[in-house]
Amino acid sequence: MKKHSVQEILDRIHTDYEFQGNSSIDYLDNIRSISDANEHSIVWCHPKREDKQQLIEKTAGRLIICDHSINRTSRLLKEKGFILVDNPKLTLSRLMKTIYDGRSDPGIHTTTTVHPDACIAGSAFIGPNCFIGMCTVGEDVIIHGNCFLYDGTTVGNNVVIEAGVILGAEGFGFAQNEKDEWERVTHIGGLEIHDDVEIGAGTTIDRGTLDNTIIGKGTKVSKSVHISHNVKIGKDCLITGCSTIAGSTTVGDRVWISPNATVLNKLSIGNDVFISAGAVVSHDIPDGFQALGRKVLPRNKK
């Protein structure tokens, strides 16, 4: 991060804010946690921390993103600058995007193999050692190295796929024959990854048997997640690390699935559902409920 003045930082904040305090800080050249800052740091403080006042008084950071509840004494206003917002974390995140642009230049790495009939937008980036089958890849997509996209996978716009992801593999589907042997069921469905989705490293998502597996707009999938064939996931869900969603389950919008949770097959999970860490979900969950272990209860409304 190069050196910035306070005003240069404020010019990068595109949300409602109020500035108070010292605007003549020499320069700012790093963003750090509030407890590990130096005099040239930008820091932030969570509004719900019980010790936030003490943290802000003790930090060496000079430019602080926080909410209005902080007691801004005359001493603090003389020493530090305060960017006062309703959502400090979101403001910091958006600020970092303007300073640390991690996007790679568009293009396909020379070690990647692409099917001749694949349709890849010119603004997409595809990293090393990938295989891209007969797929469609939208605008401003980032695919990191060592990913494998099977035929029939469609990736929307502004999607991020981290390293080692496998998309569109054949699902774990078998039929028992006359000899009680298992015969693989051919999967002719596809996989749809809608706009603004992010998929973490090491995650696998299977294609559908007949219809498509679907990951809805804005959903974020963490690392080492498995999503089975025929699953349909709605918009703006958070699916965290090492969770599993079994085949033909439908998940609504704004669902939070915590680490190591297992959602069994052919279930219907409603909108605004929370599933706790390690939960095993074996029954349908209505809108607005939560799964805690094996219990399904209404969510507390705040």
The tens digit of pLDDT for each residue in 71-86 reads 999 999 999 999 999 9
**Rounded CA gap, 211 and 217, in Å?**
18
Domain layout of the chain by residue ranges: 6-99, 107-298
Say how many C-beta atoms besides its own lie within 10 A of residue 129's C-beta. Answer: 14
Task: Decide if domain 6-99 falls under CATH 3.40.1390.10.
Answer: yes
- Let me know: does 110 contact 98? Beta carbons within 8 Å: no
Cα–Cα distance list, 129 to 117, 139, 146, 148, 166 (Å)? 19, 21, 5, 9, 13
Contact partners, residue 33, CB within 8 Å, separation at least 6: 43
Q: Give CATH for domain 107-298.
A: 2.160.10.10
pLDDT over threshold 60, residue 302: no
Considering the entire predicted model, what is its pTM?
A: 0.83
Residue 293, pLDDT score: 80
Task: Write the pLDDT tens digit of every residue in 206-240.
Answer: 999 999 999 999 999 999 999 999 999 999 999 99
Contact partners, residue 218, CB within 8 Å, separation at least 6: 194, 195, 196, 197, 235, 236
- Let me know: does 91 contact 65? Beta carbons within 8 Å: yes
Could you give the residue numbers annotated as active site?
Answer: 229
